[in-house]
Structures are given as structure tokens and as C-alpha cells.
């Protein structure tokens, strides 16, 4: 019944629960929620890991959050893309600055998905792909 509903909660990693709010910034995933109950048509992007800490929550409707708090400074963010039967995982690194909000975004190129982070409200790309 609730398929397609957008979660409004903000995920806070267990390692950051006691951190001062002034030491955290918001990271949002650029997910599409245009197709209502036809969720498979939406391009969904989730935050699957923050600095090596999985964000998976089996109690969550989607399993992974679309919005999370991250620490100021260097971050390694793993992302998960899903659209119907197509899925992909990616990883980016960037330095989060105090007072800014960031948007994880993606571009699908055939069966490949490219990921990057921008400052919300701009097209300023602030991330680089992870080097494995």
C-alpha cells in the first residue's frame, strides 16, 4: 500500500549520533519520485554507506536512505542506483564544508551509471570517484 511513498526521515550514522549538529551537514540523493505507485519507472539513488559505515536499515521501506547527515571534512560516500531491473553501485569522495548542503547525483549512460556530488542549488561538482 505504501509503495512509492518518499521517506522524509534523515539518516544519522551510528558513529555520529552524539555529534553536535554544527559538525554535520546534509547530503541528499537525487532520486525521482514522479511515477507514484509505478516506482519501477523512477530513477532512485540511495546513500548506501558513509565513510565505510553501511546505512542499510531493514525497518526502512527502501532499505537505504535518500537523505543523511555526514561529518564536515573528508567523506567517502557509496551510492546505490535502482531503476526497475537496472541497478548499480558507485563511490565518491569529497570534502564537506560547514553550512553547505550537498546533492548526490547520477547520470545513466547505457548500462553504466556515473555518480558525483554537487553543492545544492549549483552545478559545482565537488567530488571525485573513489580509487579502489
In a domain? residue 1: no
* Dihedral (CA of 15, 18, 24, 30) sign: positive
- Average pLDDT estimate for 52-81: 90
What is residue 55's predicted lDDT score, i.e. its pLDDT?
94
What is residue 5's predicted lDDT score, i.e. its pLDDT?
43
Q: Do 117 and 30 form a contact (C-beta atoms < 8 A)?
A: no
Pairwise CA distance, residues 27 & 116, whole Å: 12
Domain containing 107: what range? 14-129
Number of domains in the chain: 1
- Average pLDDT estimate for 76-87: 88
Q: How far apart are the first and last CA of the chain?
A: 40
Nearest to 102 by CA among 94, 90, 91: 94
Instruction: Judge whether residue 46 has pLDDT over 90.
Output: yes
What is residue 104's predicted lDDT score, i.e. its pLDDT?
96
What is residue 44's predicted lDDT score, i.e. its pLDDT?
87
Q: What is the pTM of this model?
A: 0.84
Amino acid at each position: 500500500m505504501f509503495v512509492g511513498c518518499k521517506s522524509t526521515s534523515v539518516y544519522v550514522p551510528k558513529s555520529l549520533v552524539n555529534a553536535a549538529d554544527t559538525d554535520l551537514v546534509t547530503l541528499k540523493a537525487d532520486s525521482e519520485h514522479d511515477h507514484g505507485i509505478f516506482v519501477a519507472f523512477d530513477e532512485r539513488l540511495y546513500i548506501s554507506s558513509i565513510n565505510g559505515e553501511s546505512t542499510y536499515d531493514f525497518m526502512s521501506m527502501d532499505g537505504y536512505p535518500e537523505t543523511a547527515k555526514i561529518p564536515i571534512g573528508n567523506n567517502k560516500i557509496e551510492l546505490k542506483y535502482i531503476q526497475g531491473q537496472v541497478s548499480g553501485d558507485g563511490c565518491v569522495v569529497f570534502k564537506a564544508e560547514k553550512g553547505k548542503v550537498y546533492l548526490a547525483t547520477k547520470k545513466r549512460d547505457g548500462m553504466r551509471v556515473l555518480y558525483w556530488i554537487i553543492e545544492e542549488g549549483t552545478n559545482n561538482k565537488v567530488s571525485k570517484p573513489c580509487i579502489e
